[in-house]
Structure 1
Amino acid sequence: MNEPRQSSILCADAQGLHRMAYVEWGAADNPNVVVCVHGLTRQGRDFDSLAQALAADFRVVCPDVVGRGRSDWLADPTGYQVPTYVADLVTLIAALGLDPRTPQVDWVGTSMGGIVGLALASMRDGRGHSLVRRLVLNDVGPAITADSVQRIGNYLGQPKRFASEQEAADYFWSISQGFGPHTPKQWLALSRPQIKRDGAEWISRYDPGIALPFKAANAATARIGEALLWQRYDSLTCPTLVLRGAESDLLTRETAEAMTQRGPKAKLVEIAGVGHAPTFVAPDQIAVVREFLKPS
């Protein structure tokens, strides 16, 4: 496997500055850019298979959202929220050297990364333009089930130490079986970027502090958040693709079908045998995204 280029940018937060790491694939001067953003506890190398498949046609940029992967951790964990992530990704897009007259990117967002993309795509500049040209929402929408929130909350923010990479991979599989079938080799490849050495052991590459704002949410704030996200979704005008794991406990079929009728009237594709969320390792999943994003 060819290795991607690694880089980072400096971003501002309420307490000062932090660095956000990212990798990129494909020609650095390709004006067709895809930004791929991961889920809540994951990191940008989740998209290696998809990025390699897209690299002939796109410059593919895969950040580690702050607090994850190789990016810095925030001094104040209450900052681990969508507005911070949106601001950081705007900083990243500005740093990519795109045409300032039309600085648009395509967006592939899994779970949390999809929420960030939805929020960013709904924002307009002074000329009424969005930074997002085409939007892929991977197993996420404006409404998120209480069951999935409880499931994620059961493991989020709990520091774990592992004696080996394989032990870490086995643990991640125990909390991620919704990702669907993977070979042992595929799963180990997805798991390795999730961990780093700490002495003789291995630990996860995310700040346990990301659990603080997640667990501070309640039914009332969830209702407000859902209403705001539907409002933002209804304002979208960009072509939108919704992928749903057919067995997802986070994105219900009812919500996904509503997304085909409201706002941008998204195209919906369900992935059989997968829950939350498709990983874009399987060729059929990659093909769906390639077809949607293919340059005109």
Structure 2
Amino acid sequence: MPRAGSVNYLFGTKFYKMAYVESGNPAAPAVLCVHGLTRNGRDFDALAEALSDRFHVICPDLPGRGNSDWLPESMAYQPPTYVVALAHLLAQLNKPVAWVGTSLGGICGMMVAAAQNTPITRLVLNDVGPHIPAVALKHIRDYMSTAPDRFVSLKALEAHLRLVHATFGPLSDAQWAHMARFSARQVLDQTGNGAFAMHYDPKIIEPLLVSVPIDVDMWPLWDMIKLPRLVIRGAQSDLLTEPVYTRMLENGAEGYVVEDAGHAPALMDYESMARIKAFLLAGL
């Protein structure tokens, strides 16, 4: 079973808690797994189990998600804030780490990997790159802004996840149920009865609502990253397009395509987990 932990980080004039779960021997080489925009660290339970015989695997809940503290200001929910929190976690670990980042987690990974004296040794980017099309951001904004506030049951929340995250790939019933369990927080509905809501601060969407989405260009950041990189792409992804993926490989990254997924592969299938583990082991 994953072990729960947390780190305090200073943001503005207050310290906040960022929760994480960890697996494996703390003396082993470290792997930090960072999730996507609306997700949490328990998405990596299967991958952490696959890696934990050789690695110390740490999976944080980014601020405003899972068991981490919510932030008071909606506009704080942006990558520089997450990098501040993650930097505190890296300082607490105080050792080199490999980084596995899905979508937003990959953006944060690129920012940390490009920094001078970075502790990152290897970088795995799951369906994200240095160019993000506006159409993909609009799609994320639309499904988040139209999501129900409450679900009458955990099964109803799971049905929602199966719909909006169908592009994660063909997950088993047990995997969907696991995702639903850790995607839910218990709340009360308008009549005071028990209900469920998504396990994140609803304000995390607000930075996407303040302006019309535009293409995001981070190629200068990508060019600053000099360490080994593995780029995973969902074959039907609208966020990591094929031309961007090809250019990343031409720049020296290794690549792996998940044929039956879009944005973003769940990384719960044997083949994806084996490819990631082989890449990380090559650095030992």
TM-score (norm 1): 0.90
Verify: 1:105 aligned to 2:97, yes or no: yes
2:232 corresponding residue in structure 1: 243
Select 1:266's aligned residue among 238, 253, 256: 253
Equivalent residue letter for 1:23: V
1:17 corresponding residue in structure 2: 15
> Deviation of residue 150 (structure 1)?
1.4
Verify: 1:285 aligned to 2:272, yes or no: yes
2:191 corresponding residue in structure 1: none
1:116 corresponding residue in structure 2: 108
Secondary structure of 1:289 counterpart: helix
2-side partners of 1:136 and 1:29: how far apart?
22
The Cα offsets for residues 229-263 of structure 1, whole Å up to 9 and x where unpaired, read as 2101011110000000001111100000011123x
Specify whether residues 15 and 76 from structure 1 end up closer, same or farther in structure 2 by C-alpha distance, changes over 3 A only: farther
2-side partners of 1:9 and 1:207: how far apart?
19
> Deviation of residue 217 (structure 1)?
4.2
2:36 corresponding residue in structure 1: 39
Specify whether residues 162 and 73 from structure 1 end up closer, same or farther in structure 2 by C-alpha distance, changes over 3 A only: same
Select 1:68's aligned residue among 65, 70, 75: 65
Verify: 1:137 aligned to 2:125, yes or no: yes
1-side partners of 2:208 and 2:119: how far apart?
27
Equivalent residue letter for 2:56: R
2-side partners of 1:283 and 1:231: how far apart?
34
Secondary structure of 1:156 counterpart: helix
Query: Which region of structure 1 is more displaced relative to structure 2, 197-206 or 283-292?
Result: 197-206
Secondary structure of 2:250 counterpart: coil
1:87 corresponding residue in structure 2: 84
1:197 corresponding residue in structure 2: 186
User: Runs (4+) of structure 1 moved beyond 3 Å?
Assistant: none
Secondary structure of 1:193 counterpart: helix
- Asked if 2 retains the 8 angstrom alpha-carbon contact of 1:111 and 1:277, the reply is yes
- Asked if 2 retains the 8 angstrom alpha-carbon contact of 1:15 and 1:75, the reply is no
Instruction: State the identity %.
Output: 39
TM-score (norm 2): 0.94
Secondary structure of 2:197 counterpart: strand
- Asked if 2 retains the 8 angstrom alpha-carbon contact of 1:66 and 1:85, the reply is yes
The Cα offsets for residues 90-126 of structure 1, whole Å up to 9 and x where unpaired, read as 1001112x3xxxx3210000000000000100001xx
2-side partners of 1:85 and 1:37: how far apart?
10
Secondary structure of 1:140 counterpart: coil
2-side partners of 1:60 and 1:184: how far apart?
25
Equivalent residue letter for 2:265: P
2-side partners of 1:104 and 1:186: how far apart?
31
Verify: 1:168 aligned to 2:147, yes or no: no
Equivalent residue letter for 2:266: T
- Asked if 2 retains the 8 angstrom alpha-carbon contact of 1:35 and 1:107, the reply is yes
Query: What is the CA RMSD across the aligned residues, in angstroms?
Result: 1.3
1:213 corresponding residue in structure 2: 207
Secondary structure of 1:250 counterpart: coil
Equivalent residue letter for 1:143: H
| Superposed counterparts of 1:179-194, under 5 Å | 179-194=168-183
Equivalent residue letter for 2:107: I
Secondary structure of 2:4 counterpart: strand
Give the length in aligned residue pairs: 277
1-side partners of 2:23 and 2:59: how far apart?
9
- Asked if 2 retains the 8 angstrom alpha-carbon contact of 1:65 and 1:85, the reply is yes
The Cα offsets for residues 52-98 of structure 1, whole Å up to 9 and x where unpaired, read as 000010000000000001101001111111111111111001112x3
> Deviation of residue 214 (structure 1)?
2.0
Which segments of 5 or more consecutive residues in structure 1 lack a partner in the other structure? none
2-side partners of 1:62 and 1:201: how far apart?
27
